[in-house]
A and B are shown apart, each in its own frame.
Chain A
Amino acid sequence: QQPVQSPQAVILREGEDAVINCSSSKALYSVHWYRQKHGEAPVFLMILLKGGEQKGHEKISASFNEKKQQSSLYLTASQLSYSGTYFCGTELTGANNLFFGTGTRLTVIP
């Protein structure tokens, strides 16, 4: 039930944009996005509910296509602080737990 993320890793220069994709084989109720720094717990970024939500905060936004069971996270004008591993967490309809994706390691360099 683990969702698949792509790409597995990406290196950006400061100011560049990135897109991280999350794909599930199951019908989803919601998608959660988290960022994890090395040795730390995941930090919540945002939740998208079924219904085709799009959401954003500052320069990070996301969309959820429930028909395709896919979500994408958009990072614009990346900053050094964006470096970390990004995980999507998928919640199935009728469940109250999350299955985390395979992760995308993002490195932003000066």
Chain B
Amino acid sequence: GAVVSQHPSWVICKSGTSVKIECRSLDFQATTMFWYRQFPKQSLMLMATSNEGSKATYEQGVEKDKFLINHASLTLSTLTVTSAHPEDSSFYICSASIRATWNEQFFGPGTRLTVL
């Protein structure tokens, strides 16, 4: 149980285009979903936290107008990278949690974005 999927697994796009990444919890309803970005050989950096039906909370330094997050349902969150540039190339990972006494996060397999 507690499986999280991401789509696509990888994407290559041209500079200036927008890219949408989907994150789905397949067998549970996720109270909260998180989006992380990971550069090679570095740690996961939290970008934003989203709760179903409300606006995402962005971490300091993350542009909310560039990284649009929509948490439409308890099983789906999307991240749209708008007007992507080469410096946006990274590994984007989502996770989902079920609120309980501990907030265990279940991670998706990640999406590798390459902007040419």
Tell me the A residues contacting B by CB distance below 8 Å.
Answer: 2, 30, 32, 34, 40-44, 47, 49, 87, 89, 91, 96-103
Contact = CB atoms under 8 A, between A and B. Distances in A.
Contacts of A2: 43
B43 A101 contact: yes
25 contacts: A2-B43, A30-B102, A32-B104, A32-B105, A41-B93, A41-B109, A41-B110, A42-B93, A43-B107, A44-B106, A49-B101, A49-B102, A87-B44, A96-B49, A96-B103, A97-B32, A97-B46, A98-B34, A98-B103, A99-B46, A100-B36, A100-B44, A100-B46, A101-B43, A103-B42
A61 to B, nearest CB: 18
Contacts of A43: 107
Contact of A41 (B97, B104, B107): B107
Contact of A97 (B49, B93, B107): B49
Contacts of B49: 96-97
